[in-house]
Structure 1
């Protein structure tokens, strides 16, 4: 049987499509949108969604997409019990889980999309409850047919900790939403409105993401304190958790006037916030992928990132790298960009080229190919055995 002869009923765990963890919501929404847009005639698509979004979902998705609604319970429990049951009831051939796989049903091909297992190497950045919860991903991954992850760095980490699957671990990079664009694409009115809304200075460095210890915001603020010769403020865009060390340092060094915390920002504002920045800074100690630097690159903004985990793999030659344990290294990388126009423009051009390698359409097509090839392989094996 050839791939062209197959019509596979694929169930996708899309519970985070309308809401959920910010990064999980972003990934699921972009992938599902692109899979639908691809219109692959080899696949009949079924989406597992949360019941509270039933009205919204029915109005949003095309009629040919089968929608299967589940009660809003924790993702682990839903994937262990409800998704498998629905897979049996709707006669689904392949199910794509988010993070947590399941041992049953035996008939369906089980693929789990695990974003990262950073907690195995960096437990200090997680609570004990989080580590205990996330470890169930490793436990239940032993029961799936295939694992998809987001970088070779994470694939190697999984192998190191004994994760594997009969059909292997496959890497599918995240994409970048095409709506991220450079500053010249915006009108003066749009730029002025953003500046007034967030009280933006004329020149600023930017960080986007969670404000916590793993993201090393304290290291970035220490680097800012060394950049006294530059009239740049630091804009930190993201939900601010409990971070007493950061608060104490800002107060002790009297940096309150040089730092703007915006909190969570709507995506439309975020895109322009990127484009309006002078340099994007991402000093994180550990990342499974690290999408914000690529989003900044697509907005024609040069980036300074930590030389750790997945960052060199994802950012390539386009980024400027710094040691996240050394604020002098970070400050030096930022200063070099701000003081060297030729290097600045070179990094902008390299960044645009690097960002062009990543798209959600490409990611969706790679996932569809993995699904169809895995299913065809199993069908061919079953026919040969018959």
Structure 2
């Protein structure tokens, strides 16, 4: 476990306006939501170096947490740990006690303490309401109880797409008009070096496979890939990255008759190498609050065949080929078009690069910081 003195620091900043990050995300294996929080923290530190703001990172401390994988973030000003408890218990009881007077608390991963009003919360989607089968009863109950109350209590709300904002408002989670939309970035892919041995390690070749990135949640719709591989004559395998549901892929074991290969979790370097060399990313989710993998793929020059579900069209624009999430016919046609049209892959790469350039973490962080500054300015003008 890292202590504050282990974290690199930037030049000292006058603490006239301070922000505390709810850093629970540093104490668990990285999810997509955690990726967003980590990349935003990098961007905050870059943007606040020359400002008058101070930045602190607050996380729980308990023996079982001390052994969790803590990923150091270059340039953090200070990292603080506290008791009691871990997880949601710490977030509700321990975290509020760590805050300084007039300090903003920034909770980037859906949840935060109900007892803190001077807080900005980022809620990424409404899927506990729209896709309940993807979550346990306990998780659904907690989020359905907590999120609306937290959204009413917090001074500032963020979400990651207009689609997510509309859904959160329609389910009564967000008060209408309160949330600010901040799109994610994808330029973290630029700093990752591709693993030159990834293809050989997984038995794949350049342009000789499709890639998919997902999880075991049913709304990720990875069972469509099994049907796609089983009912069509793909000349190359589909390589699936992530923790997948083995009941969905129960006939799949490494190399299967259905031509699907389960690679499991891979590190960022391997993922970049796979994206740079895949024929295309297949992204069949039924819904997404944002949909980061297609943008990551575009940043790496990988053509994308994407779902029409959720926020994906909003985020991806005209760059991908689209297919309805429940239409196997659409997916077969899109793959056929990509294979038969010799120029379309290059056109998709060009459109993808242009689309990905619109989404940077610095722009996202700047919008968040300016929103907090604007809130404080309005509050002071009314005082």
TM-score range, shorter chain: 0.7 to 0.9
What is the match of residue 363 of structure 1?
A: 364
List gaps (5 residues or longer) in structure 2: 1-13
Alignment: residue pair count: 362
Say if 1:237 and 1:261, in contact at 8 Å, map to a contact too. Answer: yes
What is the match of residue 130 of structure 1?
A: 139
How far did 1:14 drift? 1.8
Taking structure 1 as reference, are residues 138 and 86 closer, same or farther at Cα in structure 2, changes over 3 Å only?
A: same
| 1:226-257 deviation line (CA, Å, top 9, x unaligned) | 431x421110011123x424325x59xx9436
Q: Larger RCO: Structure 1 or Structure 2 (Cα < 8 Å, ≥ 6 residues apart)?
A: 1
For 1:164, what is the secondary structure of its paired residue?
coil
Comparing 168-177 with 36-45, greater Cα deviation is found at 36-45
Matched, 1:351 2:352: yes
Task: Report 1:266-345 matches (<5 A).
Answer: 266-345=267-346
Taking structure 1 as reference, are residues 159 and 329 closer, same or farther at Cα in structure 2, changes over 3 Å only?
A: same
For 1:317, what is the secondary structure of its paired residue?
coil
How far did 1:159 drift? 1.0
| 1:134-191 deviation line (CA, Å, top 9, x unaligned) | 2122232221111111111010011101233598101111111343499xx96xxx54
What is the match of residue 200 of structure 2?
A: 196
Taking structure 1 as reference, are residues 170 and 6 closer, same or farther at Cα in structure 2, changes over 3 Å only?
A: farther
CA distance in 1, matches of 2:84, 2:330: 46
For 2:326, what is the secondary structure of its paired residue?
coil
List gaps (5 residues or longer) in structure 1: none
Q: Which of the numbers 88, 102, 105 marks the counterpart of 2:113?
A: 102
For 2:210, what is the secondary structure of its paired residue?
strand
What is the match of residue 123 of structure 2?
A: 114
What is the match of residue 83 of structure 1?
A: 95
What is the match of residue 152 of structure 2?
A: 142
CA distance in 2, matches of 1:222, 1:166: 40
Task: Report 1:168-317 matches (<5 A).
Answer: 168-180=178-190, 191=196, 193-202=197-206, 203-228=208-233, 230-241=234-245, 243-248=246-251, 255-256=256-257, 258-317=259-318
How far did 1:47 drift? 1.2
CA distance in 1, matches of 2:71, 2:141: 36
CA distance in 2, matches of 1:146, 1:40: 24
Greater share of helix residues, 1 or 2? 1
CA distance in 1, matches of 2:176, 2:358: 29
How far did 1:264 drift? 0.4
**Deviation above 6 Å: which 4+ runs of structure 1?**
54-59
CA distance in 1, matches of 2:84, 2:149: 23
Say if 1:14 and 1:32, in contact at 8 Å, map to a contact too. Answer: no
CA RMSD of aligned residues (A): 2.9
Say if 2:21 and 2:106, in contact at 8 Å, map to a contact too. Answer: yes
Say if 1:101 and 1:141, in contact at 8 Å, map to a contact too. Answer: no
What is the TM-score normalised by the length of structure 2? 0.86
Say if 2:307 and 2:324, in contact at 8 Å, map to a contact too. Answer: yes
How far did 1:40 drift? 4.9
Comparing 141-150 with 20-29, greater Cα deviation is found at 20-29
Say if 2:161 and 2:182, in contact at 8 Å, map to a contact too. Answer: yes
What is the match of residue 51 of structure 2?
A: 41
What is the TM-score normalised by the length of structure 1? 0.85
Q: Which of the numbers 64, 68, 79 marks the counterpart of 2:80?
A: 68
Taking structure 1 as reference, are residues 134 and 116 closer, same or farther at Cα in structure 2, changes over 3 Å only?
A: same
Say if 1:305 and 1:320, in contact at 8 Å, map to a contact too. Answer: yes
